[in-house]
Structure 1
Amino acid sequence: MTRVERWERRVEVPILLLALAFLVAYAWPVLDPRLDSTLRSDLSGISWAVWVVFVVDYVIRVSLATGERPSYIKRHWYDLPLIALPMLRPLRVLRVLGFARMVNRSATGGLVERASVYVTGAAVMSVGLGSVAVLDAEQNAPGANITSFGDALWWACSTVTTVGYGDRYPVTTEGRIIAVALMIVGISLLGAITASVATWMVSQVQRAKDNAV
């Protein structure tokens, strides 16, 4: 095990707990616009403190990857946007994608079981984070039709499933970026589901042949 891997194992749980804390600190003011100003300020401080921890974690991991820093940065290209995106307020929730590392190691079983874990986790995370992010981007925009969490949740579900009724849609640039991301996720999820079902059917047919022999 490399030094980077040892570090990641050591700080994984604290980082994920901080990611959850950030999600609460970010989502609470979005879902409750009438929140007390003092509490809102405290939550903002928590979200930025978590961002600083994420920056420090990334710098440490890159510094520990001696001899392979360019390849490490290339393999973990998604970490840099997770740090940079906090400057784009509606997209700051993408930091919690650090949960994917734990899911990747904790998922057990065969291909179908692992795919089911990934698809379910990705779907729940995409809908939840997409709802909060688009509500943050849209709720105070002129001409917006996504002004409540119910509207945002309905829109996220119809978008990620690629149904797209069109009764709710983003009018801001940030909201449209989130929409594109959800569309890509939705198409990917449909492909993963199709592949998982096909794999399961093939395995069942093969098992039936083996039992017949």
Structure 2
Amino acid sequence: MDDDSPAARWEQRTEIPLFVGSLLFIAAYATRVLAVSLPSFWRNLCLATMLALWAVFAADYLVRWRLGGQRFLRFVSTHFLHTVVVLLPLLRPLRIVPLYDVIQRRQGDPRLSLHARVIAYASLSTLLLGFSGSLAVYQQERGVPGANMRTFGDAVWWAAATLSTVGYGDIVPVTPLGRVIATGMMACGLGLLGAVTGSFSSWLMQTFSREGDERPPEK
């Protein structure tokens, strides 16, 4: 039976608009970071857009808390991802799993298998996290004495090496905040890589097991 609670109805109505808002937040942030020669009016407009969207995300968080009927600390502990994306709105697009659930409630049964969905979630999350992390680290490292991350391309290369757990070491953050971001991306990279590897391995095992069951017995 479908959940018809007030919290579920709120999520059903707001998840898609909030996801679009999170993409707009990233676009405004990327414009401020990369378009350094942009006139001050447009930079201020991007900042105002980011602040307005963050206020919307915070309001959504409070509404979910009130509708959930839990004490605040209990809500924080049981809705960890909600809390993280309010504190770090650049990570809001990572809520693609609830977004997919909302879409499926409208369309019916899932069209993808569980393994395909896990791989798709992890792949899209990696792309979004890599782009957001590249922007955040580049903003911290740009122009800092001793930094070897001189262009946004360097930041993208660093993010790819970090999320894939390769870690070449040719480009490294030198600022304290840049290293904090790097630590978070390392942890996320391990988790996402583990999810894809585990799901793919499980799919292979099920496929080979099914082929073995369907094979006629030898005489």
User: TM > 0.5 between the two?
Assistant: yes
Give RMSD over aligned pairs. Answer: 2.0
**TM-score if structure 2 supplies the norm length?**
0.86
The equivalent position to 1:98 in structure 2, one of 95, 104, 123, is 95
Task: Return the index of the structure with the highest Cα Rg.
Answer: 2
2:7–2:67 Cα contact (<8 Å) kept: yes
**TM-score if structure 1 supplies the norm length?**
0.88
SS at match of 2:36: coil
Q: Does the alignment pair 1:201 with 2:204?
A: yes
1:19–1:98 Cα contact (<8 Å) kept: no
1:5 Cα offset (Å): 0.8
> Kindly, what percent of the aligned residue pairs are identical?
35
| Aligned residue number for residue 88 of structure 1 | none
| Aligned residue number for residue 59 of structure 2 | 56
| Aligned residue number for residue 38 of structure 1 | 41
1:103–1:118 Cα contact (<8 Å) kept: no
Q: Any stretches of 5+ residues in structure 2 without a counterpart? A: 105-109
Q: Any stretches of 5+ residues in structure 1 without a counterpart? A: 86-91
Total equivalences in the alignment: 207
The equivalent position to 1:154 in structure 2, one of 154, 157, 160, is 157
Q: Does the alignment pair 1:4 with 2:12?
A: no
Whole-Å Cα distance in 2 between the matches of residues 203 and 105 of structure 1?
A: 28
1:157 Cα offset (Å): 0.5
| Aligned residue number for residue 212 of structure 1 | 215
1:205 Cα offset (Å): 1.6
1:98 Cα offset (Å): 3.5
SS at match of 2:95: helix
1:151-206 per-position Cα deviation (integer Å, ceiling 9, x unaligned):
00000001111111111010111111111111112212222222122212211122
1:141 Cα offset (Å): 2.0
Match of 1:199, as an amino acid?
S
The equivalent position to 1:128 in structure 2, one of 109, 128, 131, is 131
| Cα separation, partners in 2 of 1:207 and 1:93, compared to 1, 3 Å | same
